[in-house]
Amino acid sequence: MSRTTAAIAASATVFALLLAGCSDDSSSAAPAAPAATTMPAPTYQVEATKAGMFVVSYRNAFPKLAQGRDDAAVAAVLNHSCSEIKAGKSEADTVATIKKAAKNGNTEATTEEATAVYQMSTLMC
């Protein structure tokens, strides 16, 4: 239950930042290729500012999924989900892709976590 609450809080934070027009071009998040997964490279790259906001929210909401991953690897989760959304894939298909992209070693994203990432992604893509 606390993971879902954290994911909702992260989504609200991202939404608030987007509404406030928060921008920082010095973000260390760059377009990324997937790390620690065998997924193909995403077809869509989110701009660095939005990717940076996502990385911060993701790390706070899902520490086990983010542990040991650099910003580029975390941003790749967003890029994969945006690639699916832009391609017109269904929410269920996109959530399945997010679960694959978010996998970190033996730690897999729950459906609730992947759905929270999907909701954050729809705001950022």
| pLDDT in the model for residue 120 | 93
| pLDDT in the model for residue 46 | 84
Spell 91-101 as b/e; 16+ CB within 10 A means b.
eeebbebbbbb
Q: Which residues pair with 104 in a beta bridge?
A: 107
Displacement of CA 112 from its chain's centroid (Å): 13
How buried is 11 (Cβ within 10 angstroms: 0-12 exposed, 13-18 middle, 19+ buried)? buried
**Low pLDDT (below 70) residues in the chain:** 1-38
Please give the single-letter amino acid code of residue 42.
P
| pLDDT in the model for residue 45 | 82
> Does residue 40 sit in helix, strand or coil?
coil
| pLDDT in the model for residue 7 | 52
Instruction: Kindly report the pTM of this predicted structure.
Output: 0.69
